[in-house]
Structure 1
Amino acid sequence: MSEDLVDFSNVASYYVTNKTNNNNNNKNSADSSSPCEINQDVKIKTTEMHTAGEPLRIVEKGLPPVLGSTILEKYLYAKLYLDNYRRFLIYEPRGHYDMYGALFVEPDDPQADIAVLFIHNEGYSTMCGHAVIALGRYAVDKGYVKTLSSPETVVNIQCPCGLVKAFVSYNNGKSGAVRFHSVPAYVHSADIKVGVPKFGVITLDISYGGAFYAILPASRLGLDLKTTTLQDLVSAATAVTDAVKKQEKITHPESPDLGFLYGTILTDDLSKVTKGQEGVTTCNICVFAHKEVDRSPTGSGVTARIALMAHKRQIEMNQVVRFVSSSTQSEFTGKAVQEATIGNIKGFTVEVSGQAFYTGESVFTFEEGDVLGKGFLVH
Structure 2
Amino acid sequence: MYGAILRPSNELVECGEAHVGVLHATIALGRFLVDIHDPDIFPRRRERVVDSASQTVEVNLHAPCGIVRLTVPVVVTEKEAKSDPSRPVSFLSPPAYATAINHPVYGGTYYVLVDVRELGFAQGLRDVDFDRVTPVLKTLKGYLNSHPDFPTACRHPSGMPLAYPYSVMVVDTEVGGQPDDVEGAETGLCFFADDQIDRSLTGSCVVARMALAYAKGERRHGQRWACNSLVSNHFSSGAFVEEIVGTAGDAVTVRVEGSAYNKGTSSFIVEEGDVAGHGGFTMKNPRTPAVPGRFTFRS
Which of the numbers 187, 205, 211 marks the counterpart of 1:307? 211
Opposite residue 112 of structure 1, the aligned amino acid is A
Change (3 A) 1:255 1:160: farther
Change (3 A) 1:292 1:236: same
Q: Distance in 2 between matches of 1:258 and 1:180?
A: 24
1:251–1:260: 8 Å Cα contact kept in structure 2?
A: no
Q: Distance in 2 between matches of 1:361 and 1:161?
A: 28
What is residue 49 of structure 2 aligned with on the other side? 148
Which of the numbers 255, 269, 275 marks the counterpart of 1:351? 255
1:337 aligns with 2:233: no
1:9-41 alpha-carbon deviations (Å, 9 max, x no partner): xxxxxxxxxxxxxxxxxxxxxxxxxxxxxxxxx
Higher relative contact order (CA 8 A, sep 6+): 1
Opposite residue 102 of structure 1, the aligned amino acid is A
Q: Distance in 1 between matches of 2:57 and 2:283?
A: 40
SS class of match (1:290): coil
What is residue 287 of structure 2 aligned with on the other side? none
2:21–2:61: 8 Å Cα contact kept in structure 1?
A: yes
Q: Distance in 2 between matches of 1:355 and 1:257?
A: 32
1:238–1:264: 8 Å Cα contact kept in structure 2?
A: no
1:115 aligns with 2:21: yes
> Normalising by the residue count of structure 2, what TM-score does the alignment of the two structures yield?
0.73
Q: Distance in 2 between matches of 1:238 and 1:216?
A: 13
Q: Distance in 2 between matches of 1:353 and 1:376?
A: 40
1:297–1:331: 8 Å Cα contact kept in structure 2?
A: no
1:254-307 alpha-carbon deviations (Å, 9 max, x no partner): 251656421110011359xxxxx9430100111122222211132111101111
1:24-70 alpha-carbon deviations (Å, 9 max, x no partner): xxxxxxxxxxxxxxxxxxxxxxxxxxxxxxx3xxxxxxxxxxxxxxx
SS class of match (1:243): helix
2:187–2:227: 8 Å Cα contact kept in structure 1?
A: yes
1:282–1:323: 8 Å Cα contact kept in structure 2?
A: yes
Following TM superposition, by how much is the alpha carbon of 1:365 offset from its aligned partner in structure 2, in angstroms?
A: 5.9
What is residue 11 of structure 1 aligned with on the other side? none
Change (3 A) 1:181 1:231: farther
Opposite residue 22 of structure 2, the aligned amino acid is V
Following TM superposition, by how much is the alpha carbon of 1:361 offset from its aligned partner in structure 2, in angstroms?
A: 1.4
1:156–1:165: 8 Å Cα contact kept in structure 2?
A: yes
1:332-359 alpha-carbon deviations (Å, 9 max, x no partner): 1001111025xxxx21001111011111
Residues 182-261 of structure 1 aligned to structure 2 (within 5 Å)? 182-194=93-105, 204-207=106-109, 212-223=110-121, 224-247=124-147, 248-249=150-151, 250-254=154-158, 256=160, 258=162, 260-261=164-165
Structure index of larger Rg: 2
What is residue 33 of structure 2 aligned with on the other side? 139
Identity of aligned residues (%): 29
Change (3 A) 1:304 1:147: same
SS class of match (1:192): coil
Following TM superposition, by how much is the alpha carbon of 1:376 offset from its aligned partner in structure 2, in angstroms?
A: 7.2
Structure 1 gaps, min length 5: 1-54, 56-99, 119-130, 195-203, 272-276
SS class of match (2:200): coil
Structure 2 gaps, min length 5: 38-43, 176-180, 285-299
SS class of match (1:188): coil
Q: Distance in 1 between matches of 2:68 and 2:201?
A: 18
Q: Distance in 2 between matches of 1:265 and 1:189?
A: 15
What is residue 222 of structure 2 aligned with on the other side? 318
> Normalising by the residue count of structure 1, what TM-score does the alignment of the two structures yield?
0.59
What is residue 360 of structure 1 aligned with on the other side? 264
1:294 aligns with 2:188: no
1:52-103 alpha-carbon deviations (Å, 9 max, x no partner): xxx3xxxxxxxxxxxxxxxxxxxxxxxxxxxxxxxxxxxxxxxxxxxx2111
Q: Distance in 2 between matches of 1:246 and 1:168?
A: 42
SS class of match (1:139): helix
What is residue 41 of structure 2 aligned with on the other side? none
1:265–1:284: 8 Å Cα contact kept in structure 2?
A: yes
Report the RMSD for the aligned CA atoms in angstroms.
2.8
